[in-house]
Amino acid sequence: MTTALYRHALCRLHDAGPGHPENSGRLDAIDSQLTQDGLLTLLTPCEPAVASRDQLARIHDSDYIDRIFSASPASGLLHLDGDTAMNPHSLQSALLAAGAVIDATDKVLNADIDNAFCCVRPPGHHAEYARAMGFCLFGSISAGAAHALAHHGLDRVAILDFDVHHGNGTESIFRSDSRVLFCSSFQHPFYPYTKLDNPPAHIVHTPLDAGSDSTVFRKAIERDWLPAVARHQPQMIFVSAGFDAHRDDPLGGLMLEDEDFSWVTRQIRLMADDFCNGRIVSSLEGGYDYDALGRCVSVHLGALLEMDSE
């Protein structure tokens, strides 16, 4: 397998203030674990370009994009909500994060690579059509999915999100676009407190009680995601890869183990093999315990590389 790893030095420079859990130490922890596990030599290194305005306008309100560009501070911090802030590098970081998913989409659909992981920040799945929230400015994974539809002419894609928080931003962007199957597993009730009433058939909610463990998680994914993906027959699969459902995570309240992230990635890979020639683009969302994050990204990449033996 050829698995691309997207990284960019500027993604380290976004900073939302002292003590913020979404910080560049996360990328350092991932890099050191991947080095320790000998994975960097097996991955194809890729550097993203920034997403264009037109690419963002497929998923965000035009006025919202203007507001974020004009809000970018020359110095200091600008707070967009209680936990989402921009420093002078945040705009560029967020454009690179979305640009990574878009470039990976091109490379996978052109068969230059088999699959990809975008190790970028800030995350994106809470950014709504016209609102920044939850550490997120632009919907990176949504930008990739929209690019696959608009630029490459695909008819059906799936976005699978196993972050501990519901991907409300992704849902807000594709709620009325049935070409995009969106499956999200998440602790419930929990931030961002999405209303779960009567979603359309292409929006699949998998709420999990606080304290849910491996068994509960795996059963729920098998019950909800596998049949939904089989029905949708996606031509490409996107992954919002958050690792904050790990039992060691300081923000989340689920009890997943390292092996669960290997398992869920393998399930996704098997579905991609069945329906879309193995085409997967995954992007980093949450995960705030440095050690657990590093290990879980490592097993996620191991499964994308087909090194897992489960």
- Closest of 201, 211, 223 to residue 267, by C-alpha: 223
Q: Does 22 bind Zn ion (CB under 5 A)?
A: no
> What is the smallest separation between the CB atom of 123 and Zn ion, expressed in angstroms?
7
Asked if 179 and 200 count as a contact pair (C-beta separation under 8 A), the reply is: no
Size of the site for Zn ion (CB under 5 A): 5
- Closest of 254, 150, 167, 243 to residue 203, by C-alpha: 167
- Indicate the residue among 48 and 287 with the shorter CB distance to Zn ion: 287
The residue from 114, 244, 260, 289 that contacts Zn ion (CB under 5 A) is: 244
Q: Does 114 bind Zn ion (CB under 5 A)?
A: no
- Indicate the residue among 114 and 163 with the shorter CB distance to Zn ion: 163
The residue from 99, 169, 242, 294 that contacts Zn ion (CB under 5 A) is: 242
Q: Does 163 bind Zn ion (CB under 5 A)?
A: yes
Q: Does 287 bind Zn ion (CB under 5 A)?
A: no
* 79 catalytic residue (yes or no): no
Q: Does 302 bind Zn ion (CB under 5 A)?
A: no
- Indicate the residue among 73 and 207 with the shorter CB distance to Zn ion: 207
**What does the alpha-carbon distance between residue 179 and residue 172 come to, in Å, rounded to a whole number?**
14
Q: Does 48 bind Zn ion (CB under 5 A)?
A: no
Q: Which stretch binds Zn ion (CB under 5 A): 67-75, 104-112, 163-171, 179-187?
A: 163-171
Asked if 248 and 290 count as a contact pair (C-beta separation under 8 A), the reply is: no
How distant is the alpha carbon of residue 24 from its chain centre? 17
Could you give phi then psi for residue 301, rounded to 5 degrees? -70, -40
Q: How many residues does the chain have?
A: 310
- Indicate the residue among 165 and 295 with the shorter CB distance to Zn ion: 165
Per annotation, catalytic residue among 8, 125, 126, 300 = 126
Q: What is the CA radius of gyration of the chain?
A: 17
Q: Does 286 bind Zn ion (CB under 5 A)?
A: yes
- Indicate the residue among 15 and 249 with the shorter CB distance to Zn ion: 249
Query: At how many degrees (to 10) do helices 25-36 and 290-304 cross?
Result: 50
- Angle at alpha carbon of residue 169, lines to 163 and 174, rounded to 5°: 110
The residue from 165, 232, 279, 300 that contacts Zn ion (CB under 5 A) is: 165
Between the alpha carbon of residue 10 and those of residues 27, 49, 89, 96, 108, the distances in Å are 11, 11, 7, 8, 24
**What does the alpha-carbon distance between residue 297 and residue 291 come to, in Å, rounded to a whole number?**
10
Q: Does 161 bind Zn ion (CB under 5 A)?
A: no
- Indicate the residue among 165 and 246 with the shorter CB distance to Zn ion: 165
H or E segment to which residue 168 belongs: helix 168-174
Q: Which stretch binds Zn ion (CB under 5 A): 2-10, 95-103, 192-200, 237-245?
A: 237-245
Instruction: Point out which residues bind Zn ion (CB under 5 A).
Output: 163, 165, 242, 244, 286
Positions marked active-site: 126
